[in-house]
Amino acid sequence: MARNVGAARFQVKLCTSGVFTRASAFFSIRVDFPLTALYMALMNSTPFIKMHGFGNDFVILDARETAMAIDAAAVSAIADRHTGVGCDQVIVMEKGDDGLADVFMRIFNADGGEVAACGNAACCVASLLLSKSEADHVVIGTEGGLRDAEKTPEGHIAVDMGRAVFDWRDIPLAEAVDSNHPGISEGPLVDGCVVGMGNPHLVFFVDDAESVPLETLGPRLERHLLFPERTNVEVVQILSPEKLRMRVWERGVGITTACGTGACAALVAANRRGLAERRAGVVLDGGALVVEWLADDHILLTGPASSSFSGELDESLLKS
């Protein structure tokens, strides 16, 4: 958190007394600054909301009214867990201008790369929009297509993630292969399966997901030559036909506590291999998502969306 106004890179809340406060079940922060200095700092700042789905966390910026220029360097600065806010992805909400989407969601991984899909981010953005609306569902535009989302009776968010793709050109892959058996192995991981969910996923089935050294195998497989845009990597243990245990290495991020598109890819890959039903709970490091491969081949992802805090980004972060 900020130590002085000159070094502050993001701030949580401004009170009229000139006191900065933030409290939750886990921590409480109080920093006293001169009110004039705080006011001047916030004049050149950008609001953000920090949200997460089972610990897969996002800094969400609202550019629906005012366009926002953001590049890879700025994303990396915001995502830095030591000098920025810290997150797996930065999400920019833009105006949905096609007459179909309520909002357009741009997705940037922590390394600054822009990607087309993120299931947990879709849950968070949907939750944010639904909390400020009387509508029972929202439509989110992404580079990977439209995503219909609604709140469940349990208070979670269900998102239609569209259809998985298996053609090598659509995933995309560098050459024509059988996506169900592309011939990829690395150490203890053998016979991976490839699924496209608007982003590429390489799924391996293992006897014990906990024992896989994903921190060393993940970065090597992310950059496998078959994937011109790199890939996400999942290791999946079949606990039962209706329950999977999954760990994930996300491209451009590393190991994360949850990945919505990864959970969808794991269920689809397991079903294609005859290892799981078309509906299953997928247990990640952060918690269990529910994935259902519907009769029309659309994939329904259901999970939580939680707010952590809101604040202001210092202008220097956006010009990093």
Catalytic positions are: 118, 259
**Residue entry with tokens 């991981």:** 189
Are the CB atoms for 158 and 131 separated by under 8 Å?
Answer: no
Are the CB atoms for 2 and 11 separated by under 8 Å?
Answer: yes
52 to each of 49, 178, 250, how far by Cα in Å? 10, 35, 15
CB count, 10 Å around CB of 217? 18
Are the CB atoms for 105 and 121 separated by under 8 Å?
Answer: yes
Reported as half-sphere exposure (CB side, CA atoms, 13 A), residue 218 has a value of 18
Encode burial over 235-269: b for 16+ CB neighbours within 10 A, e otherwise: bbbbeeeeebbbbbbbbbbbebbbbbbbbbbbbbb
Distance in angstroms (rounded) separating the CA atoms of residues 37 and 8: 11
Listed residue (294, 238, 286) closest to 266, CA to CA: 238
Are the CB atoms for 275 and 134 separated by under 8 Å?
Answer: no
